[in-house]
Structure 1
Amino acid sequence: MNLIIDQGNTSAKLALFEGRELVKVRQTVHWDESFVDELISGRKVDAAIFSSVARYDISLLDMLRNKFPLFVDFNKDTRLPVTLGYRTPDTLGRDRIAGVVGAMEQYPQSDVLVIDAGTAITYDFLRSDGCFLGGNIAPGINLRFTALNQGTGRLPMVGPEGDLPLLGYDTPTAIRSGVVRGILLEIEGYIRDLQLKCPSLFVFLTGGDALLLAAKLKSPIFVDKNLVLKGLNRILYDNVEI
């Protein structure tokens, strides 16, 4: 059994895999050794991988290394099942790589676009030959709401739930529709433009806001909230002998 830890900007996901099958997932803002022990209680974990896009307590890495002899700290030197066409691989988020690897696991030798809607929204493209060409980074839903509230003098803080008219009929709906509809048009635009170049493109949507956005999108997409975890599990297999 494998332990996968994906530390994001606002929370972490810890998961257990039996081979390629996802067995259990827990999401938390804070985790420590006792949290890990509770998650794996009664199970034999053979290997573990840790990936982070945020700052973390370095002692957690020491704990993981001591607890799991087959341990991978996902960094720039980690072996990958894809090649990187990105010009600055040292600054490329590990979660972005894991996302396209997770998509490749499901549709090998295919052009894939992975949209990860979390704190930020990332758009990442993997070519059918396994080359990660790059992608874009934009503010996520909550960042956009927060920026409008904190960057102006009078606009209120609103959330994504509620009426989404084409044209707002008051200030809260104007903000909500501006943010959410703006993101939907953004996503549809990326899909449309890439499909002109890659007609057989597979599109994956993942991240904390995936379900909220998927229900409102017109383009056919695959929703997989655990795509990054699946990619990390594959990367683990490429780096240890289990």
Structure 2
Amino acid sequence: MMLLAIEQGNTNTLFAIHDGAEWIAQWRAATDSRRTADEYAVWLSQLMDLKGMRFDALTGCIISSVVPQSIFNLRNLSRRYLRVEPLVIGDNVSIGPQPRILKPSEAGADRLVNAVGAHMRYPGDLIVIDSGTATTFDVVAADGAFEGGIIAPGINLSLQALHEAAAMLPRIAIQKPQTIIGKDTVSNMQSGVFWGYIALIEGLVARIKTEWARPMTVIGTGGVASLFEGATDSIDHFDSDLTIRGLLEIWRRNTHLTAE
């Protein structure tokens, strides 16, 4: 088996290849809903060539996207260049227990995949914090079902909003400030955003645990999750491979292959 897993968020799109035993390649591209299947193919084929791989070596494809406009082109990439019909999260693909929310069809593909990836590795009831364009807090029951959660603006979105809405506030990079109390505009903004998000995480995790009323393990993942490592005790594990692990497991479940 040579599987191409595509995980598309609002900001970045991850392309990863699994050879049946391990992930052997991963590449990221900026998400652009206007990008065609042919453009994806040119970009991806060149990167694969650098590793001595060709499209005809790929025998499967699974796609998770939160950008509906892009799914058509990603599907065509698989059909036209890999010559395989892709599995697309949301297209009657089995993911395990049905989401226990009011409108299961509204559950984001990324959140469902994360629930599978988290349940595979961590026992019991879980909170998955995914830090990307949005910061999501997903509750995953001990049987692997997605139980709902919280959506908040992502840290980059907050920085962008500060810069665009306030004429005197510059565009800054995310980093952990040396002190809580800032001594200039940049350190004031960095402290507000960084420690503000730590407070958001700690406060919401505490409230979720109180409402759930059972022990829960907290996993952090996503593009900027590593920024918070060591800054809070509210996150038990940081797991950058959560989503692609979930995609691999869903692929196996739907193609009747034995999971690891």
TM-score by length of 1: 0.89
Q: Does 1:33 align with 2:19?
A: no
CA distance in 2, matches of 1:76, 1:91: 13
Map of 2:35 onto structure 1 = none
Greater relative contact order (Cα < 8 A, sep 6+): 1
* Correspondence for 2:79 among 60, 65, 73: 65
Alignment equivalent of 1:188, drawn from 202, 215, 221 = 202
Alignment of 1:62-211 (within 5 A): 62-66=76-80, 67-108=82-123, 110-161=124-175, 163-196=177-210, 197-211=212-226
1:48 and 1:68 in contact (8 A); partners too: no
1:106 is displaced (CA, Å) by 0.5
- 3-state SS of the aligned residue for 2:102? coil
What one-letter code is carried by the residue in structure 2 that aligns with 1:32? Y
The alpha carbon displacement at 1:181 in A equals 0.4
Deviations 1:142-179 (A, max 9, x none): 11011111112322222222634222222222211111
Q: SS of 2:94's equivalent?
A: coil
Give TM-score scaled by structure 2 length. 0.83
Identity %: 30
Quick check: 2:163–2:170 contact (8 Å CA) kept in 1?
yes
Question: Which residue does 2:231 correspond to in 1?
Answer: 216
CA offsets, 1:101-149, max 9 Å, x none?
Answer: 10011024x1111111111111101011222111111111111011111
Is the contact made by 1:76 and 1:89 (CA closer than 8 Å) also made in structure 2?
A: no
- Structure 1 range deviating more: 204-213 or 150-159: 150-159
* TM-superposed deviation, 1:71: 2.0
Moved more, 2-11 or 185-194: 185-194
User: What one-letter code is carried by the residue in structure 1 that aligns with 2:109?
Assistant: R
Task: Kindly indicate whether the alpha-carbon contact (under 8 Å) linking 1:98 and 1:232 is maintained by their aligned counterparts in 2.
Answer: yes
Q: List structure 1 runs of 4+ shifted beyond 6 angstroms.
A: none
Alpha-carbon RMSD:
2.3
Classify the secondary structure of the residue corresponding to 1:50: strand
Matching residue of 2:18: 17
1:191 & 1:68 partners in 2: Cα distance?
A: 44
Q: Structure 2: how far apart are the matches of 1:198 and 1:14?
A: 38
- Structure 1 distance, partners of 2:215, 2:176, is 35
> Which residue does the alignment assign to 1:45?
58
Shift of 1:198: 4.9
Q: Which amino acid aligns with 1:151?
A: A
Q: What is the rounded CA distance, in whole Å, between the counterparts of 1:137 and 1:189 in structure 2?
A: 14
- Is the 1:20–1:233 Cα contact (8 Å) retained in structure 2? no
Higher share in helix: 2
Q: By how many angstroms is 1:20 displaced?
A: 6.1
More off after superposition, 18-27 vs 142-151:
18-27
Q: 1:130 to 1:163 in 2, by over 3 A?
A: closer
The aligned amino acid for 1:60 is L
- Matched length: 241
Query: Distance in 1 between the 2:228 and 2:163 partners?
Result: 22
Segments of 5+ residues of structure 1 without an aligned counterpart are: none
The runs of 5 or more residues in structure 2 that have no matched partner are 32-38
